[in-house]
Amino acid sequence: MKKFILIFLFINIYLVASNQVIRGTIVDNTTKNVIHSASVYFNGTSVGTLSDENGNFQIDISKYSSMPITISAIGYYSVTLTNFLTGKPNLIYMSPKLFELNEVIVKAKSQPWKRRENLTIFRNEFLGTTGNAMNCKITNENDIRFKYSSDNDTLTAFSANPILIDNKALGYKITYYLDKFQYYKPGGSFIFKGNIIFKEDSATDVKKKMFFEDKRKYAYLGSRMHFFRALWMNDLGSNGFMVRNSANQITNYKKIVFQKDSNTKYLRCPGGLGISYYTKQSTSFIIFLKENVFFDPNGYFEPDGIIWEGEMARKRIADLLPYEYSIKD
């Protein structure tokens, strides 16, 4: 009987472990060839792996089971997996963007572009204009291509390779797979989409580590990540946040959070929200694109469900932290 129980427990442990590991093969959607050295990761973290020479990969999802898996590769649009098989292999198709980039390069040669001016616009909108942004450097700017449309006065940026960023303020090497960047010159509005992988600076100097930690803490306090972590814990007030609805009335957790179960929560508020943080002089605003926006205890939220305005919208790539970040006492 004891032997049977031990076998039963072993089988269950094995099944649970297997269900925490996702396996798959990555192929080109057009040629059906396998794609090796593709990055398979959790967007906004330093957790990931690479596909092997046969396009195969496996990744443990136990730490970030509520987050989608992102797959990126040079010359391809990134793929986000929200529904995937556990215990069985997944087949993932990626769409190439080389044709689009080749077209841009041809157009760039036929027109007199002001590349320096375009790069300044790109840096300001992509990295931001904060103090941390001033200490960020894109190390492969030559990979970035621009296209200008006179019809709607729009600047578009492309890159076949991931954009590599050295954030000397927060101590991270960043790899960013850019899928879309458009800047509308008349109103100064913009949109960019992509996926990000962090790698922490391996500095051993004590003063340098302390410098990074101080800068990270300041970047975290009052950030979007801080807000969603505090909201998950139903602890906005003691974390320094005040939230108002579209009628400018102070609201609370019960009125803006829909809880499906103990592990699944959604933010919602018709008309939008205003968020104030006690050390920041300006207010941030949330405009909802979806009725319910999923978020988790790590501070992750559905990026396509929200438009940000105000203070938090000013924080771009240069002020982002990986989801595994935590304040050190």
Question: What CATH code is carried by the domain that includes residue 81?
Answer: 2.60.40.1120
Give the integer Cα–Cα distance in Å for 326 and 297.
Answer: 12
- Domain boundary (161, 185, 200) is at 200
Do 22 and 79 belong to one domain? yes
Residue 168 is assigned to a structural domain of this protein: yes
Q: What is the pLDDT of residue 114?
A: 81
Note whether residue 14 is domain-resident. yes
Looking at the structure, tell me whether residues 211 and 191 fall in a common domain: no
One-letter identity of residue 179: D
Q: Is residue 327 part of a domain?
A: no
Please check whether residues 222 and 184 belong to one and the same domain: no
Examine the domain organization and report whether 221 and 270 are in the same domain.
yes
Could you tell me if 123 and 317 are in contact, meaning their C-beta atoms sit under 8 angstroms apart? no
> Residue 93 and residue 10: Cα distance in Å, rounded?
35
Give dist(CA 96, CA 77) in Å, integer: 6
User: Apex CA 126: angle with CA 81 and CA 205, to 5°?
Assistant: 90
Domain edge (last residue) among 47, 67, 94: 94
d(C-alpha 257, C-alpha 265), whole Å: 7
Per-residue model confidence (pLDDT) at position 11: 39
Query: Strands 284-288 and 257-261, how do they pair?
Result: unpaired
Residues 294 and 249 in one domain: yes
Residues 230 and 250 in one domain: yes
Number of domains in the chain: 3
> Which of 277, 268, 269 has the alpha carbon at shortest distance from 241?
277
Q: Does some domain include residue 70? A: yes
Both 150 and 227 in one domain: the answer is no
In this predicted model, what pLDDT tens digit does every residue of 217-229 receive, in sequence order? 999 999 999 999 9
- Residue 262 is predicted with a pLDDT of 77
Q: What is the pLDDT of residues 104-121, one digit of tens each?
A: 555 555 454 588 899 999
Task: Name every residue whose Cβ is closer than 8 Å to that of residue 35 and which is 6 or more positions away in sequence.
Answer: 26, 27, 28, 51, 55, 73, 76, 94
Chain-centroid distance, C-alpha 12: 34
97: region left, alpha or beta (phi > 0 left; psi from -120 to 50 alpha): alpha
Indicate if 181 and 211 belong to the same structural domain: no
pTM of the predicted model as reported, rounded to 2 decimal places: 0.86
Same-domain pairing of 161 and 81: no
Nearest residue to 70 (alpha-carbon basis) of 51, 48, 91 = 48
What residues contact residue 281 under an 8 Å CB cut-off, 6+ apart?
none
Which residues span the domain enclosing 265? Answer: 206-319
Does some domain include residue 52? yes
Q: How many residues does the chain have?
A: 329
Q: Residue ranges of the chain with pLDDT lower than 70?
A: 1-19, 85-86, 98-113, 329
State which amino acid sits at residue 154.
T
Q: Is residue 33 in some structural domain?
A: yes
Q: What is the pLDDT of residue 85?
A: 67
Q: Which residues contact residue 70 at a Cβ distance below 8 angstroms, ignoring those fewer than 6 apart? A: 39, 40, 41, 42, 43, 78, 79, 80, 81, 195
Question: Do 229 and 312 belong to one domain?
Answer: yes
Shared-domain flag, residues 112 and 180: yes
Using CA atoms, how far apart are residues 131 and 215, in angstroms rounded to an integer? 10
Q: Of the candidates 39, 48, 41, 50, which has an alpha carbon nearest to the alpha carbon of residue 68?
A: 41
231 in any annotated domain? yes
Would 329 be classed as within a structural domain?
no
Q: Angle at CA 168, nearest 5°, toward 299 and 324?
A: 25
* Same domain as 168, residue 125: yes
Look at residues 200, 220, 241 and tell me which one is the last residue of a structural domain: 200
DSSP state of 237: G
